[in-house]
């Protein structure tokens, strides 16, 4: 009885340990068809968004999205297109964070992924682009 | 009951095995409760950002080439003015 119990415990522990081992050994996953599709979308959109980053009309928010921070910097003719670009970009960014979390079988990581991306977008931004600081204020890089 | 179990274990040398099992179980439980791998996520984020903004770098280059074109046109206008200057006398 006791031997059986210990054997069972050991087996369970071993399986758990092995599972955990493989889980930690696997790198942070972000190569799914959904992620690739979102990346391509965003890549294509970036050439349209870049001038607005340059002018300061659009900035990088602290929650890993983009926002129209200075509508006056956008010519009237392209205000509508800027709004739709920002909306589409944010949809893709939200989906990207969610998809990466799902790719890692940890949907609860979405917010951590979002915050990581927020920091990295800002760090990778070109000088002259605007980003939102932790307290919500805008800062020019 | 407990002493009997204990004597059984010592008799059969199961105590080390039991301890090992408990240790493994604990390690398994601790490891399975994985925290967010921030460093790995940062690397992945950097890679994705690089890919997404690569087009932007192209745009940057275009912008630069645009500036170059402007410079060239400036140069042309300069040369034109030079020419006009030359034609003037």
Would the CB atoms of A117 and B24 count as touching at under 8 Å? no
HEC sequence for chain A: CHHHHHHHHHHHHHHHHHHHHHHHHCCCCCCCHHHHHHHHHHHHHHHHHHHHHHHCCEEECCCCCEEECCHHHCCHHHHHHHHHHHHHHHHHHHHHHHHHHHHCCCHHHHHHHHHHHHHHHHHHCCCCCEEECCCCCEEEC
Same domain? For B19 and B42 the reply is no
Structure tokens at A118: 């927020």
Q: How many domains does chain A have?
A: 1
**pLDDT tens, residue by residue, B56-89:** 454 444 434 333 433 444 434 444 444 444 444 4
Q: Which residues of A touch B52 (CB under 8 A)?
A: 39, 42-43, 46
The answer to whether the beta carbons of residues A23 and B30 sit under 8 Å apart is no
What is the pLDDT at residue B20?
73
Q: How high is the ipTM of this complex?
A: 0.81
Other residues' Cβ atoms within 10 Å of the Cβ of residue A45: 18
The answer to whether the beta carbons of residues A33 and A17 sit under 8 Å apart is no
Same domain? For B14 and B40 the reply is no
What is the pLDDT at residue B67?
38
Structure tokens at A18: 């092995």
Closest CA to A96 of A23, A17, A19, A43: A43
Q: How many domains does chain B have?
A: 2
What is the band of B26 on the pLDDT scale with cuts at 50, 70, 90? low
Same domain? For B27 and B57 the reply is no
Kindly state whether B5 is in contact with chain A, defined as any CB-CB distance less than 8 angstroms: yes
Same domain? For B84 and B49 the reply is yes
Which of B55, B63, B64, B65 to mutate to test binding with chain A, by most A CBs within 10 Å of its CB?
Answer: B55
Structure tokens at B78: 């300069």
What is the pLDDT at residue B10?
54
Residue A90 lies in a domain: yes
| pLDDT exceeds cutoff 60 at B29 | no
What is the pLDDT at residue B74?
41
Same domain? For B53 and B14 the reply is no
Same domain? For B72 and B46 the reply is yes
Residue A6 lies in a domain: no
Give the Cα separation of A12 and B11 in Å (integer). Answer: 24
Would the CB atoms of B28 and A20 count as touching at under 8 Å? yes
Kindly state whether B66 is in contact with chain A, defined as any CB-CB distance less than 8 angstroms: no
Q: Which residues of B touch A4 (CB under 8 A)?
A: none
Same domain? For B14 and B45 the reply is no
Residue A19 lies in a domain: no
Same domain? For B9 and B50 the reply is no
Give residue B86's domain range: 36-89
What is the pLDDT at residue B3?
52
Residue with tokens 């870049």: A50
What is the pLDDT at residue B72?
40
Output the CA angle A57-A61-A65, nearest 5 degrees.
95
Which runs of E-coded beta strand occur in B1-89? none
Kindly state whether B50 is in contact with chain A, defined as any CB-CB distance less than 8 angstroms: yes
Query: Which residues does chain A have with pLDDT short of 70?
Result: 1-2, 5-26
**pLDDT tens, residue by residue, A84-125:** 999 999 999 999 999 999 999 999 999 999 999 999 999 999
Closest CA to A4 of B69, B36, B21, B78: B21
**pLDDT tens, residue by residue, B35-51:** 899 999 999 999 999 99
The answer to whether the beta carbons of residues A30 and B48 sit under 8 Å apart is yes
Same domain? For B59 and B81 the reply is yes
Give residue A92's domain range: 29-140
Q: If you count them, how many residues does chain A have?
A: 141
Of the two residues B19 and A84, the one the predictor is more confident about is A84
How many contacts, defined by CB atoms under 8 Å, are there between A and B?
Answer: 116
Q: Which residues of A touch B40 (CB under 8 A)?
A: 27-28
Same domain? For B70 and B48 the reply is yes
């Amino acid at each position: 009885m006791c031997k059986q119990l210990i054997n069972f415990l050991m087996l369970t522990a071993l399986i758990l340990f092995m599972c955990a081992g493989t889980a930690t050994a696997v790198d942070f996953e972000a190569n799914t068809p959904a992620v690739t599709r979102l990346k391509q979308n965003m890549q294509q959109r970036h050439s349209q968004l870049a001038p607005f980053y340059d002018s300061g009309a659009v900035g990088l928010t602290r929650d890993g999205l983009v926002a129209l921070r200075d509508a006056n910097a956008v010519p009237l003719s392209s205000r509508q297109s800027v709004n739709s670009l920002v909306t589409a970009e944010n949809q893709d960014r939200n989906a990207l964070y969610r998809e990466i979390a799902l790719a890692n079988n940890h949907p609860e990581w979405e917010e951590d992924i979002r915050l990581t991306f927020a920091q990295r977008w800002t760090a990778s931004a070109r000088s002259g682009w605007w980003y939102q600081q932790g307290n919500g204020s805008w800062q020019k890089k | 009951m407990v002493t009997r179990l204990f004597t059984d274990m010592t008799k059969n040398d199961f105590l080390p095995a039991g301890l090992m099992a408990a240790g493994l179980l604990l390690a398994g439980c601790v490891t399975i409760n994985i925290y967010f791998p921030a460093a790995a996520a940062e690397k992945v984020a950097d890679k994705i950002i690089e890919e997404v903004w690569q087009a932007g770098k192209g745009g940057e280059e275009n912008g630069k080439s645009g500036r170059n074109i402007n410079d060239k046109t400036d140069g042309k206008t300069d040369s034109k003015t030079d020419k006009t200057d030359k034609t003037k006398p």
